[in-house]
Structure 1
Amino acid sequence: MPTKRKIDSILKVNGTDIVDANGHKVVLKGAGLGGHLNMENFITGFSGHEHEHRAALLSVLGPQKYKFFFDKFLEYFFTSSDAKFFASLGVNCIRVPFNYRHFEDDMNPGVYKEEGFQLLDRIVNICSEQNLYVILDLHAVPGGQNQDWHSDSGSSKAMFWNFKEFQDRMVNLWVALAKHYRGNAFIAGYNPLNEPADPDHVNLINFYYRVEKAIREVDPDHVLFIDGNTYAMDFSQFPAEPFPNTVYACHDYSMMGFPTGDPYLGTSAQKKKLRESFERKVAFMRKQKVPIWNGEFGPVYASATDDANFQQTNSQRFALLQEQLSIYQESDISWSIWLYKDIGYQGMVYVSPSSPYMQLIAPFLEKKKALDLDFWGCSDSKVAHIYAPFLTALKEMVPKHLRDKIYPNVWTFERQVERRVRECLLSEYMGWEMAELFRGKTEEELDELAGSFKFENCVLRDELNGILQTDARFGDELGAES
């Protein structure tokens, strides 16, 4: 494998390429550090939204033990051991999703908490020691930029687009971040907003104009990574003139990699569908001749506990992943797979089932899965009979021609209902049930629970990592030729 070039200059955009100061093309390949500075229910096991999960644990543990547990969790989740392993695969970039709540409180907006910068600095410093790039990804904003759990709004509405105050705060936060990281060559760039979903489209475009201008005033050098609308899949309303020094980002999940989708059998029709779906998402980039970054993609994986044929299922999903990577290779597409570490759904690394944390929450996970509270990686097979008559009755109340009026209208009526009932309301109740599992824990026990996320205590998903390593090797060989 060719030796990686030492990171010593800020990246920039040159036509359809990302290049370093010497003009060498850099294809960014890596993973998202989801579940860390922006927690998600399926990644670490709680139900509902992060701020609800934290509030429930605070109530059960009290302030001192609550702080102790989360300090240890954040410390152990990503360490130098993780970065060394990551770099050993030949991948070169970690996308770091973060929640605005680490930087400011809603009751004290605009007053920045130093610990937020310290948390990011720690990751950047660890990555720099392993010659890894970092992309800073604002994953959750006040009011929520989309309707899903990972924007941590607590509701099914993206209220970020309705309040200028929310948008002002996030522009100002990016100014503070850009000031902090200007000149840092290990920062590949800034991803101002993950998966925005603006029903009117124009609010998002206006926000991008504002945040681009504000960032450039304090840091004219770093690349911006701009997500498309409607969960990074729609660029139809974007201005024809692209922003300077900007990479445009799509997300390219395939339902064939999830339990609710058709299995991937590698047919010519399925391969055609994968390619057409990707090309539809990147048509804007192709036309405008700007770089493409696939900021998220990847299947979830089955286990023996939930699928008697899990090995066959996973073989199909690995084949799907390889087909997607082959499509990206054709145009030297930069990518960031979702995700690096979790409790077993999707991670390159996952928490051991025998760990103290997994042993503690195992009964809750089983119940949560049976109730289908997480959209990610679950099915409603055990509760469909409960919801079917309820949904039938609701559909009779709503005229058929109005059932697609609620944005995103690509979601079915059934999806809109389960989002509100199961993933918001019922999940919030269940979050308190999970929190009760932590009641009475000593700091020593809490340290052991958080320590379950240490790299040394985790399991490697070898076949997935081998696929990524092979693709990264292709990128290194390409870089050596450029």
Structure 2
Amino acid sequence: MVLTDNNVAGFVRAQGSKLVNGNGEPLILRGVGLGSWFLPEGYMWKFPEQGDRPRRIERMIEGLIGKEKAEEFWEIYYDRYTAEVDIRKIAEEGFNSIRIPINARAFIEDGEPLRFKGNNLRRLDQCIEWCRKYNIYAILDLHGAPGGQTGANIDDSENDQPELFTDDAYRRITIELWRQLAERYKDEWIVAGYDLLNEPLPDWNAALNPALMPLYRDIVKAIREVDQQHMIILEGAHWSTDWTIFDEMIDDNTLLQFHKYWNNPDTESIQKYITDRTRWNAPIFMGEGGENNIDWYSGAFRLFDDHDISWNFWTWKKMDAINSPCSVNKPEGWDRLADYLAGGEQPSTEDAQRILWSYLDNIALENCTYHAEVVHSLFRRAPVRIPAMFYGYQGEEIGYHIGTRSGRNVGFRVNDGTDIRFVDSDRQLADFQHNGGRPWKLDQRLCVQLAAGDWLAYEFTSANVGGGEGIESVAYGVEIRLRATEILGDWSGLTVSLDGWQLGTVRPTSAEWTIIRLEESVALDEGLHRIVIEAVGGPVQIEWIDIV
């Protein structure tokens, strides 16, 4: 159990380019998104395109088991998918915030005037109460705006068009929805801020980009009529990556949000956002990133920490996954539903109900398969493996030292100058895409090559066992996968130090890849630690460092 002081205290606000809490203390949000709760996404259900969004999933379920049973299914689903035990576990793991995706259809009736429906507003209130109880901030995220803000499945679009920007009625409803949410939560300090629109207007709808900032202004004006305290969170266009739409800071308590999937986790890939942080004198937030593997996580999320950027991982829970903390176990017969959506045979009512109710059992946290290694990778918390390419991002002589650079292959870390090379792989990993973005290819392993005198630093954290009273330090060992390159009459190796204390030297005996473990184990107190590896003798290649 982690549950340490996480600076959660009072209203979050922007102070220049930093976030601070209600006590004026610096704050970095480190959170997780509750994807597929109020806006079920088909890919998290392992469904094909015919079931890729809430309205299509709802239509399938009602068609299979009838309206009454379908309504019962959704009431149970909303109660179980995110429950108090989830929020408690998130807090125990050390996250200090959650991002709650809201689908307008799940909260309000069609048409005007705006009317709330059902029990989801009560569930949102309850979740905010749990956040207060377990001391983590909540971010309200309008993931599916009335009419849709993207024209894609992720906003539950009816006609695959961003009708929020083409229909004045949807625009008015969205503004009023935010005004009423702000009125409801204006005194709730545990609500960190209002994320006005998730990933609006992908490039193929960029002709509508000029309508985005005027809408933001009108929403903020409506919010400020009733709520002067909560932070406004603005996302760029094109999956939240295009910040050229920002023409001014429309509120002095604003957090600018970008999303990051699949491209290289290096400073170059986020430099434009870091530059804009200075330009606008506003804090920045990586509000969605994930859907990759734990090696990528250990680089990307350390990148954000090293640059003092708040972050939120996507997502806490989904079906049959190894790259989210909670994996919903796929029920027996589930593929029959997916096949039916794709045009296959329709299951009987009895079979469909049995499969769906098995799913409702499986979504409870206690029935999920929990992947602690995902969380360890996000926080770089021991035990954790750190790919060698993800040394410190704070800059030269802090995160690394490189000697003579003449003839170096710059490669992966283009801002640094280390020699990053592709090496033969003994495993095959998938080549992923997210929303058409440039992929980070993992079909080969990457290593770092160092010459004598070069050094790299890796920061990681340790959490004590049990939490609270009577905590104990934990003993860890250090393993390194490395090899010598061709040398003439000399040997290659690495000296390894931890928090300034030398642990020893590791020396590969050949040009073959080998894993070497330092003989000495070390007891780590809770908190941040720093390993430094320095090349001695001839050149050496390093693939990863494992704190075990």
TM-score, length-scaled by structure 2? 0.64
The one of 173, 177, 190 aligned to 2:177: 173
Q: Which residue of the partner structure matches residue 320 of structure 1?
A: 296
For the 8 Å contact 1:124–1:186, the answer to whether it is kept is yes
Q: Which residue of the partner structure matches residue 284 of structure 2?
A: 292
1:152 and 2:128 matched: no
How far the C-alpha of 1:196 sits from its partner, in A, is 0.6
**Distance in 1 (alpha carbons) for counterparts of 2:373 and 2:296:** 13
RMSD, matched Cα: 2.6
**Distance in 1 (alpha carbons) for counterparts of 2:179 and 2:327:** 35
Q: Which residue of the partner structure matches residue 123 of structure 1?
A: 127
1:348 and 2:321 matched: no
Q: Structure 1 pair 477/12, CA: closer, same or farther in 2 (3 Å)? A: farther
Deviates more, 1:32-41 or 1:197-206: 197-206
More helix by percentage: 1
Aligned-partner residue type, residue 452 of structure 1: N
**Distance in 2 (alpha carbons) for counterparts of 1:50 and 1:149:** 9
**Distance in 2 (alpha carbons) for counterparts of 1:433 and 1:217:** 52
How far the C-alpha of 1:119 sits from its partner, in A, is 2.1
For the 8 Å contact 1:295–1:335, the answer to whether it is kept is yes
**Distance in 1 (alpha carbons) for counterparts of 2:173 and 2:319:** 33
Identity of matched residues, % = 25
**Distance in 2 (alpha carbons) for counterparts of 1:288 and 1:223:** 16
More strand by percentage: 2
**Distance in 1 (alpha carbons) for counterparts of 2:348 and 2:171:** 36
The DSSP-based 3-state class of the residue aligned with 1:201 is helix
The DSSP-based 3-state class of the residue aligned with 2:261 is coil
Q: Which residue of the partner structure matches residue 280 of structure 1?
A: 272
Deviates more, 1:103-112 or 1:58-67: 103-112
For the 8 Å contact 1:144–1:152, the answer to whether it is kept is yes
In structure 1, stretches of 5+ residues that fail to align are: 256-269, 301-316, 368-428
Q: Please tell me whether Structure 1 or Structure 2 has the larger radius of gyration of its CA atoms.
A: 2
**Distance in 2 (alpha carbons) for counterparts of 1:172 and 1:339:** 28
Q: Which residue of the partner structure matches residue 190 of structure 1?
A: 194
How far the C-alpha of 1:5 sits from its partner, in A, is 5.2
Deviates more, 1:469-478 or 1:114-123: 469-478
Q: Structure 1 pair 347/295, CA: closer, same or farther in 2 (3 Å)? A: same
The one of 338, 349, 355 aligned to 2:314: 338
The DSSP-based 3-state class of the residue aligned with 2:52 is coil
Q: What are the equivalent positions in structure 2 for 1:396-407 lying under 5 Å apart?
A: none
The DSSP-based 3-state class of the residue aligned with 1:138 is strand
For the 8 Å contact 2:195–2:234, the answer to whether it is kept is yes
Aligned-partner residue type, residue 159 of structure 2: S
For the 8 Å contact 1:234–1:281, the answer to whether it is kept is no
Q: Deviations over 1:43-69 (max 9, x none)?
A: 123322211210221222222211111
Q: Deviations over 1:124-183 (max 9, x none)?
A: 122222111110000012221113211111333222211121111010001110111111
The DSSP-based 3-state class of the residue aligned with 1:10 is coil
1:102 and 2:13 matched: no
Aligned-partner residue type, residue 335 of structure 2: A
1:362 and 2:338 matched: no
For the 8 Å contact 1:53–1:431, the answer to whether it is kept is no
For the 8 Å contact 2:332–2:355, the answer to whether it is kept is no
TM-score, length-scaled by structure 1? 0.73
Q: Which residue of the partner structure matches residue 423 of structure 1?
A: none
The DSSP-based 3-state class of the residue aligned with 1:236 is helix
Aligned-partner residue type, residue 454 of structure 1: A
Q: Structure 1 pair 298/444, CA: closer, same or farther in 2 (3 Å)? A: closer
RCO comparison, higher one (Cα < 8 Å, 6+): 1
For the 8 Å contact 2:290–2:314, the answer to whether it is kept is yes
Q: Structure 1 pair 38/133, CA: closer, same or farther in 2 (3 Å)? A: same
1:44 and 2:45 matched: yes
In structure 2, stretches of 5+ residues that fail to align are: 382-459, 464-525, 529-548
